[in-house]
């Protein structure tokens, strides 16, 4: 193997740059050339490709976002789009390709691995943590700390005003961010997709607290398909038990920012591991971290299998918030 | 004068605690007793009053929110409510009262000063900075830095995704937060109440940038009466020029958090100045800071007169963002 | 079991308060009374003990330090001191005792468990991470993020000035903080106790970089017995290869600050686990987390056995910094 | 005027990049070409000059350090060095030159303005705030907030351990950073160059507090010629009154980091004002901000005249800390 490529795809996540840096340095240390493909699969189709060297990745370890740019490619989802992408890979003489992204990226990657003989290795980079085959994804730790900082700020005003707040965090299909930021933020309640929200229980809890004089509370809500479900929940709470609440939707601030130590270390480890995997002839796998060690999972499993919330953390959140 | 009181009212703002601490220490240094009135004017009516000493205000200088609690009192807006409040003041033998809050608080304070002979001194504490008679209000500097941090984070993802973002900040009737956080954040455009937004101009600007290949942009929007106007603006941009955008509403995270150095210093200065003003027999004034010096403004002026945005900053924002 | 106690001892660590909160709530949920012992073993000897309830631990989850106070007790190291402590425990009718601290605390705890029949459970709370029997200690994640933030700041000025910096972090006998903050900060070199520093190698590396025109570099140094060894290293570098450097000693800022999400979650988990352990009749153990699960380690092992740096991370640091 | 240059010199300060960005955009808006001179006066002598355009300054507003690099030039202090620099200016056809830096930079600038006919305008960029002719320098607000964050962290551990800390901040000849960060941090005492430290008074104060049971205290110390004087002060305190203390030297972390809102706004304003000044034919002046307005001060005055600490803030610090 002489030349490999790397791209970031889907939602950006803090730590992607640390991962690119590690892959570039590991590639160079192994005498591989490495090309950066811009704007995800779209850029691959359009051949927006640039060489990467040590200098190109100097001092990017602390930057949020991704120096390669990212996109969600509709064209790559088509067979014709992928054919163009494969042609680009061939012409650039790329023998191995590292994909940093989440489940959407790995769906595309699974198909790509089946349709061409370029080595394909995925690295889990998404703030949502909803990728099977790794304890944590790159970006998750930063996202929960960002959410947590916001919850801490809102706590100040919730106490000062003796008022109920609904804080909506990211996580459409999974409650990882809500659970961990809520637990760490000392939230009084959580509404997560895994526990289809029992309005009865929430209202009972709030009513009980109110009777005891505790009027300030923070409920962390995982967003649904579209941001904004908290407004409906606020209305329902008011209709049912007459308690007013304020809504905060954290949105895209959870994606950005300088990555935490943990995200940079995870990203560095997996970026280097992806190069090693390619050198070892692996293809169609994601490199993740399980129990502190690098683990390989077939790309198809990463999005077909469902990663579960840790049941112990859910019980802990209940125990401590009650 | 032997005994004074202090309360926080209206929206909480970072630095209120630093102000309370300064007032307490300045009072004690002048052999005054000082009482803390909880939950704003409501607490005054209900006589929720506690003595404050050095120990009570130790280590609160860095806390967001307000240890006294705050509220927006409907009852105090009535003549009957104010009579109850005056009775509370008399029974507690409070001869001077410090009000930390914004324009709503000072409307109430203006009436209170006319209806009783207790010395009334206001201190401007609100993140909005929309109080006449002071260059800056306590909490504003923290709020713009919080908004700025969010804008910086969103910038990461805006660049990575090459996408337009609308970031909605607080400031219903005035664009102080939008102007200063937008200028500091390098926003491509601002929509503020003072410049009733010309959709034509914004769309022209965005179209021009898009033609030049610059697709990532951040537009800072001051919220209107209710948070959420950015969603309508996003729709309108899409309808007019076909550009998709993402919306972020920062909301209450702008109120909380540990205060900045500037807010703590301003709060300390004005808290001490309020005590001095009471000792000097002043009543019906707000203590503010103009050009670095303590300034006194009749309470009525603080909310009747309109504080203008600095025209130079508006021009600067235009020059640099273009 | 009806009544338990809790104390913090040794160097304070961010997350200790989150741990106290969790233990209190878990105790109350199991109908246990819980007492807070102030100022570590010294306070136990002096009987500075206060009851803890839900209210006492409300809104402490985000505070650095410890609400109980801490100390390093010389008296408790004596047999006579421990006898006093045991008498205090008996008189307060404490049947189980939770010790939050590091290796010094657990040395004391080991002896205490042998000398009395009160259940003793340790929880690892120290920024140094040098406790055998847990993947991470409470406070470590916050400490490396604090160190990392400092390194990022210094990077700005190192680049602007094209200059070499030595950044000294905590960790007298172990290089955990240096390794993880250095790896995450993209440090050019590390000097850790586990790799008794080869001045030759460092100087060779710096000389090579200088010849290639790279003059800005950050070397992360684990402090030795006393802070300040970096000054001697700086002098030695200058003497040997003529390169000037600047020294930064991060010191106690690494101990404080609001805990990260990971530290709060770990602290919450282990605080609750400590109560469960006592209820299950365990004594003389530390509750830690290994591979995501709660693990029990005999207290003696926690300080007699040596926790090793992860060799993979050391190699990774070398690979990426070179 | 067709072409101007810009350089940063002396210690770097957060906000220098925001200032460069503003100057570039203001220059381009006025149809001026603008060149960036790297590594301060050294780079001018060596002709390390690059053209700057909108793209070069995109997304630098939030970066610490300076994209141009900086240095303290010994050669420029000589007449011969300046002759080389003037030759570089002539050959590059630079008609106006913007210098961002502190007093050392302006000494050089004063001489340069006298020795050639290129328009010379200074902009105050230094964390120390010790430049006459401006209320604040670019970088000062960020530096005091960084120092403040460190003080807040140390406060956690000071309270938890009931211990005295000496925190040494930058500021060799002036106490601006010490005064404002100490006031905002609630420091118990300050040692600043302007009040040649009376050890008697400090020891009396500490002794009094200790007798009253208050054992945790933070004393903010402005560094002297060389960092480290706090170690000597700690020893002296111990010798005189037997109280142990811990020393923290913040050092270079005060220089880096993303600039605050206030620093970015000030930098933007003064960067644009410098271009305007050159266009108006001014030379040999510094543009600063006094009472919110742009002010011009002869370069010689900026370093010959002494900027005083605000006496009111000094009294306030005394009142509140006592």
Q: What are the backbone dihedrals phi and psi of residue A170, each rounded to the nearest 5 degrees, phi first?
A: -70, 165
C160-174 tens-digit pLDDT = 988 999 999 998 788
Residues D162 and D266 in one domain: no
Residues B163 and B181 in one domain: yes
Q: What is the mean pLDDT of residues B171-189?
A: 94
Task: Name the neighbours of C, counting chains with at least 3 Cβ pairs within 8 A.
Answer: A, D
Residues B94 and B176 in one domain: no
> Which residue range forms the structural domain that includes residue B214?
141-255
Residues D249 and D224 in one domain: yes
Using the predicted structure, report yes or no on whether residue B322 has a pLDDT greater than 70.
Answer: no
CA D311 – CA D297 distance, rounded (Å)? 22
Subunit contact A159:B63, Cβ cutoff 8 A: no
A135-154 tens-digit pLDDT = 999 999 999 999 999 999 99
Residue ranges for chain D with pLDDT beneath 70 = 197, 322
Using the predicted structure, report yes or no on whether residue C51 has a pLDDT greater than 70.
Answer: yes
Residues B135 and B266 in one domain: yes
In b/e form, how buried is each residue of D260-286, taking b as 16+ CB within 10 angstroms? Answer: bbbbbbbbbbbbbbbbebbbeebbbbb
Looking at CA atoms only, how far is residue A58 from chain C in angstroms?
9
Using the predicted structure, report yes or no on whether residue C209 has a pLDDT greater than 90.
Answer: no
Q: What is the DSSP letter of D220?
A: E
Strands in D118-244 per DSSP E: 119-124, 164-169, 189-191, 217-222
Residue in chain C closest to D65 (alpha carbons) equals C156
What is the set of active-site residues of C?
128
Residues A38 and A50 in one domain: yes
CA D114 – CA D111 distance, rounded (Å)? 5
Question: CATH number of the domain that A128 lies in?
Answer: 3.40.50.450
Contact list in D for residue C149 (CB cut-off 8 A) is: 257
Q: Is residue A63 part of a domain?
A: yes
Using the predicted structure, report yes or no on whether residue B193 has a pLDDT greater than 90.
Answer: no
Residues B120 and B216 in one domain: no
C-alpha of B41 from chain center = 18
Residues B110 and B84 in one domain: yes
Q: Is residue B127 part of a domain?
A: yes
Closest Cα to residue D192, out of D165, D224, D216? D224
CB of B61 within 8 Å of any CB in chain D? yes
Contact indicator for A298, A98 with CB cutoff of 8 Å: no
Subunit contact D312:B269, Cβ cutoff 8 A: yes
Q: Which DSSP string do the residues of B88-115 spell out, in sequence order?
A: HHHHTT--EEEEEE-HHHHHHHHHHHHH
Task: Name the neighbours of D, counting chains with at least 3 Cβ pairs within 8 A.
Answer: B, C
pLDDT score for C197? 63
CA A219 – CA B258 distance, rounded (Å)? 22
Last residue of a domain, one of C231, C255, C279: C255
Contact list in B for residue A40 (CB cut-off 8 A) is: none
Subunit contact D186:B21, Cβ cutoff 8 A: yes
**Of the partner residues C152, C153, C252, the one whose CB lies closest to the CB of residue D154:** C252
Please name the residues between 173 and 232 in chain C that touch chain A, using a CB distance below 8 Å: 180-181, 183-186
Using pLDDT thresholds of 50, 70 and 90, give the confidence band for residue B200. confident
Helix axes A261-279, C176-185, angle to 10 degrees: 70
Q: Which helix H or strand E contains A296, and what residues bound it?
A: strand A293-298
CB of A155 within 8 Å of any CB in chain B? yes
Closest Cα to residue C233, out of C247, C218, C215, C216? C247
Q: What is the mean pLDDT of chain A?
A: 95
Q: Is residue A314 part of a domain?
A: no
Residues A131 and A67 in one domain: yes
CB of A24 within 8 Å of any CB in chain C? no
Q: What are the backbone dihedrals phi and psi of residue C29, each rounded to the nearest 5 degrees, phi first?
A: -65, -20
Taking CA atoms, D206 is separated from D168, D181, D231, in Å, by 18, 20, 17
pLDDT score for A194? 86
Predicted TM-score of the model (pTM) = 0.96
Q: What percent of chain B has pLDDT above 90?
A: 87
Residues A71 and A155 in one domain: no
Residue of C129, C184, C269, C279 to mutate when probing chain A, most A C-beta within 10 A: C184
pLDDT score for C212? 82
Residues A109 and A199 in one domain: no
The tokens describing A8, both together, are 């970031």
3-class DSSP state of B260: coil
Q: Is residue B312 part of a domain?
A: no
Contact indicator for A152, C264 with CB cutoff of 8 Å: no
Q: Is residue A130 part of a domain?
A: yes
Task: Name the neighbours of A, counting chains with at least 3 Cβ pairs within 8 A.
Answer: B, C
Using the predicted structure, report yes or no on whether residue B107 has a pLDDT greater than 80.
Answer: yes
**Of the partner residues C135, C145, C269, the one whose CB lies closest to the CB of residue A316:** C269
Strands in B173-320 per DSSP E: 189-191, 217-222, 245-249, 285-290, 293-298
Structure-model confidence comparison of residues D144 and A55, the more confident one: D144
Residue in chain D closest to B273 (alpha carbons) equals D316
Last residue of a domain, one of C239, C255, C271: C255
Q: Which of D12, D42, D103, D128 is catalytic?
A: D128
Subunit contact D256:C153, Cβ cutoff 8 A: yes
Q: Is residue D309 part of a domain?
A: no
Q: What is the mean pLDDT of residues B296-321?
A: 95
Question: CATH number of the domain that A175 lies in?
Answer: 3.40.50.460
Q: Is residue C312 part of a domain?
A: no
- Work out how many domains chain A is built from and give that number: 2
pLDDT score for D197? 63
Beta strands B33-37 and B49-51 are antiparallel
Structure-model confidence comparison of residues B261 and B215, the more confident one: B261
D80-131 tens-digit pLDDT = 999 999 999 999 999 999 999 999 999 999 999 999 999 999 999 999 999 9
What is the set of active-site residues of A?
128
Quickly count: other Cβ atoms within 10 Å of residue B281's Cβ: 9
Residues D166 and D227 in one domain: yes
Q: Is residue B321 part of a domain?
A: no
Q: What is the mean pLDDT of chain C?
A: 94
Beta strands D293-298 and D245-249 are unpaired
Q: What is the 3-state secondary structure (H, E, C) of C43-75?
A: HHHHCCEEECCCHHHCCCCCCCCCCCCCCCCCH
As a whole number of Å, the CA-based R_g of chain A is 21
Q: What is the mean pLDDT of chain B?
A: 94
pLDDT score for D172? 78
CA atoms within 13 A on the CB side of A255: 24
Using the predicted structure, report yes or no on whether residue A248 has a pLDDT greater than 80.
Answer: yes
Strand partners for A285? A121, A298
Q: Among all chains, which residue has been given the structure tokens 């002043």?
A: B282
């Amino acid at each position: 193997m002489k030349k490999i490529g790397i791209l970031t795809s889907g939602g950006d996540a803090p730590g992607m740059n640390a991962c690119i840096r590690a892959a570039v340095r590991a590639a160079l240390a192994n005498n591989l050339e490495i090309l950066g493909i811009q704007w995800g699969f779209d850029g691959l189709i359009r051949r927006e490709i640039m060489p990467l060297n040590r200098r190109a990745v100097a001092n990017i370890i602390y930057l949020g976002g991704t120096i390669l740019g990212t996109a969600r490619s509709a064209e790559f989802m088509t067979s014709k789009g992928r054919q163009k992408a494969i042609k680009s890979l061939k012409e650039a003489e790329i023998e191995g390709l590292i994909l940093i992204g989440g489940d959407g990226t790995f769906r595309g990657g699974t198909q790509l691995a089946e349709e061409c003989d370029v080595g394909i290795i995925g690295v889990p980079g998404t703030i949502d943590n909803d990728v099977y085959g790794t304890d944590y994804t790159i970006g998750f730790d930063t996202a929960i700390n960002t959410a947590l900082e916001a919850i801490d700020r809102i706590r100040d005003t919730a106490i000062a005003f003796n008022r109920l707040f609904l804080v909506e965090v990211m996580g459409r299909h999974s409650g990882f961010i809500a659970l961990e930021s809520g637990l760490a933020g000392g939230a009084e309640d959580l509404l997560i997709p895994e526990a289809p929200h029992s309005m009865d229980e929430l209202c009972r809890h709030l009513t009980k607290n109110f009777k005891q004089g505790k009027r300030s509370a923070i409920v962390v809500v995982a967003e649904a398909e579209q941001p904004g479900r908290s407004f409906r929940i606020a209305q329902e709470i008011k209709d049912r038990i007459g308690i007013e609440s304020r809504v905060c939707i954290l949105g895209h601030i959870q994606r950005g920012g300088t990555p935490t130590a943990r995200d940079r270390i995870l990203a560095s480890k997996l970026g280097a591991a992806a190069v090693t995997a390619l050198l070892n002839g692996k293809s169609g796998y994601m490199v993740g971290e399980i129990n502190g060690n690098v683990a390989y999972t077939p790309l198809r499993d990463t999005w077909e299998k469902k990663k579960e919330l840790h049941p112990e953390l859910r019980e802990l959140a209940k125990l401590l918030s009650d």
